[in-house]
Structure 1
Amino acid sequence: MRALTLPAVIRTLTPLGWIAGIVVVLAATGLVLGGLGFRWDPFDLARRRLEAAELSMARAEAEAAARSAEAQAQADQVTRLDAALHTLRSLDRATTLSIQEARTADDADLPLATDRADRLRDHDRELCRIAPDLAGCAAAPDPAGAGEPTVRRLPAAR
């Protein structure tokens, strides 16, 4: 029997054998180069996957930032509402006390006297202390005019 040599094998291969041999050589070359770290990406799929992942990450970060801002705004709104309700309760309490004192005072039915003007002025100061941004307070424009008191005193009743 004759030993097969490489030139004899090459001469006896059919076209289908040649194709199979080329495929085997290419596959072996690809495996060796892949093992060495070489990558062949003719359609640039890795870059497309990376861009899609980065876009997804950016969208998730934007949504998280929006949710965080929304939660912060809601917390700020609750804080402002609490402050406004506290101010409202303080004003209501001060006004209720002033109304009760005015109705039960001995001079409730008399023209405005010095004592009543003082009580009104004290109440006005209390309101300005609680909410300095109210109209008529020192921080707000005074509707009475420059140097003019907000409540004018009448002469004391005789």
Structure 2
Amino acid sequence: MFWTDELRPRNVLTVEDAIRADSEITWAQFFGYPNSRITCCCFYKEKGINFWFPHCDPGGSWANVLSDDGQTLTETSKYIVRIDTHPNKHYPPRLVFPRFKDANSNTFYFKFVGVFQYSDEDSEDGLIHVYKRISDRLIWKNGNPADFEW
């Protein structure tokens, strides 16, 4: 049985579940995203949220670090000019599924770490963006994850 078949009737996904998916689109479509492609951060207008799939493995142009307690996600860019052109203050809450690299198999996976909101007071414009977790779970009704809330 695929994990989605087991998760759907539970009507809840929590951080503690630590369920892994092999792609961004698998998570997005599970929660009702209608398209077959998705970017690293994609606005889901029907729900008024962003799906965010930050890369938390080394490499790439962005350095994303999840705190040890899972409450804070810090985003910086190796190219400081680029982060200036991507203001986050107006962004809605983000459903966050970072990409991690499995040390044993060298494969990438995505897992839910919570719903996060941009923190203006903890961020430094142009240098660092800080997001604080506002929920550690997503809930839905009648086995329909597209009808989620936090």
TM bin (shorter chain): under 0.3
Higher RCO by CA contacts (8 Å cutoff, separation 6 or greater): 2
TM-score, structure 1 length as denominator?
0.19
TM-score, structure 2 length as denominator?
0.20
Which protein has the bigger strand share?
A: 2
Higher alpha-carbon Rg: 1
Which protein has the bigger helix share?
A: 1
